Amino acid sequence: MSNIFEKNAEEIRVLSLFSGCGGMDFGVEAAGGHVIFSNDILADACKTLSKYFPDTDIRNADISGIQTFPTADIVVGGYPCQSFSMAGNRDPKKDERTNLYKQFLRVVSIVRPNYFVAENVSGLQQLSSGTFLKEQLEAYNNAGYNVTYQVLNAKDYGVPQSRKRLFIVGIKKELNQVFQFPKPTHGKSTKSTGELKPYASHGEAIKDLPLWPEGEFYERPHDPEGHFSWYYMSRNRKAKWADPAFTVVANWRHITLHPASPMMTLTWSNLTDGWKQRWDFSDQYEHLEANPERKKLDKPRRLSWRECALIQTFDSQFTPVGETESKFTQIGNAVPPKLAEVLFSHLFSGAGLVVVDKQIPLHLTRK
């Protein structure tokens, strides 16, 4: 028994499912792994993968139609999450995507890797009192894996974005190991947390990009309401310059505002009659109060896809394949590469592996 990451050769062979444009894959490679196989159903995502992972076997297909897979030390993937999302229809029983975890489980059962890492939205933990999450944990446990899970917020690990995601890590029971998640490195320092770095500023992350990148963000041409619908104006869409950004979403219409935009203020609210509010733009710029030298947008705009990529911690040269809307979809669906790197470094190095001398009861994994 040891806390060493058990691999079958010199390199760590990684099989990636539901790979998207490679957010998790970039993190895997930065942590020292080698992605040998990737899969996604979206053609543009697979073209992006081919662009940045030329030596990887990339399959643009429905995963259910793929029957054979290479041997691997670890299987990773973020199966589609819309049916569990707090922003989605939130009725998983009626959404076929709810059962995509079974395809992930099927591949794990075929490949029998020593480890697996699955990612989903944090809403999976809350829906139906956690029954959908419990179903998955039990399935992985019955397949022969010690499983632990935790909701991680990307901002706690140096990503300039507040983004909560649930990760499930499984380890083959015969290895007598269990995974403990990395502790936050960023946030407010307390006696219990120790010394932490301050949260990363999303304004600073994107400050060197063009202030008005024509064609790289969503606008509503020829619309009498202007560029922002009533729904968009029903909440505050502007995070402070010095703070992490709000979550980067996959729908370019709902992307939040550039931090150099004017502040939004609540102009009326009638929450007793549903969730009805109205926010409007003011003439205030909170980011200039701290530093008058910062850039300023006279007209508010949504973040560009290039800015979203930097906020997600993709490399500054990262350019996904496809039209502008497709770029937003790929970037918004991705796991932040920096968060993935932290997680996989913690696993590959053995720092997150704890030796156990007996089977872990399933209820102990539900933190």
Q: Specify the CATH number for the domain of residue 162.
A: 3.40.50.150
Write the DSSP string, 120-173. EEGGGGTGGGGHHHHHHHHHHHHTTEEEEEEEEEGGGGT-SB--EEEEEEEEEG
The candidate with the shortest Cα–Cα distance to 83, out of 44, 128, 41, is 128
Whole-number pLDDT of residue 85: 42
User: Is 223 found in the same domain as 163?
Assistant: no
User: Is 166 found in the same domain as 44?
Assistant: yes
What's the whole-number average pLDDT of the chain? 91
The residue count of the chain comes to: 367
* Active-site pick, 21, 46, 81, 308: 81
Whole-number pLDDT of residue 364: 47
Asked whether residue 343 is assigned to any structural domain, the reply reads yes
365 in Cβ contact with 147 (< 8 Å): yes
- Higher-scoring residue by pLDDT: 191, 75: 75
Q: Specify the CATH number for the domain of residue 220.
A: 3.90.120.10
User: Is 126 found in the same domain as 27?
Assistant: yes
Whole-number pLDDT of residue 357: 77
User: Is 181 found in the same domain as 281?
Assistant: no
> Looking at the DSSP assignment, which residues form a beta bridge with residue 361?
none
Whether the predicted pLDDT of 257 surpasses 90:
yes
Whether the predicted pLDDT of 365 surpasses 80:
no
Give Cα 285 distance to the centre of its chain. 29
pLDDT tens for each residue of 152-177? 999 999 999 999 999 999 999 999 99
Asked whether residue 163 is assigned to any structural domain, the reply reads yes
Asked whether residue 318 is assigned to any structural domain, the reply reads yes
User: Is 84 found in the same domain as 208?
Assistant: no
Write the DSSP string, 233-266. GGS-----TTSPBPPPPS-GGG--B-TTSPPEEE
pLDDT tens for each residue of 81-129? 545 444 444 444 554 556 789 999 999 999 999 999 999 988 787 665 6
User: Is 215 found in the same domain as 323?
Assistant: yes
Asked whether residue 1 is assigned to any structural domain, the reply reads no
Whole-number pLDDT of residue 86: 42
Asked whether residue 271 is assigned to any structural domain, the reply reads yes
User: Is 184 found in the same domain as 46?
Assistant: yes
The candidate with the shortest Cα–Cα distance to 42, out of 322, 324, 340, is 322
User: Is 345 found in the same domain as 324?
Assistant: no
| Distance between CA atoms of residues 277 and 254, nearest Å | 16
Residues of the domain holding 138: 12-189+333-365
Asked whether residue 121 is assigned to any structural domain, the reply reads yes
**Residue 46 annotated as catalytic:** no
Asked whether residue 22 is assigned to any structural domain, the reply reads yes
Which of 24-38, 228-242, 259-273, 338-352 comes out lowest in average pLDDT? 259-273
Asked whether residue 360 is assigned to any structural domain, the reply reads yes
User: Is 348 found in the same domain as 296?
Assistant: no
User: Is 302 found in the same domain as 250?
Assistant: yes
Whole-number pLDDT of residue 367: 46
pLDDT tens for each residue of 171-196? 999 999 999 999 999 999 888 888 99
User: Is 51 found in the same domain as 184?
Assistant: yes
pTM for this model (two decimals) = 0.93
Q: Give the number of domains in the chain.
A: 2
pLDDT tens for each residue of 301-323? 999 999 999 999 999 999 999 99
User: Is 351 found in the same domain as 213?
Assistant: no
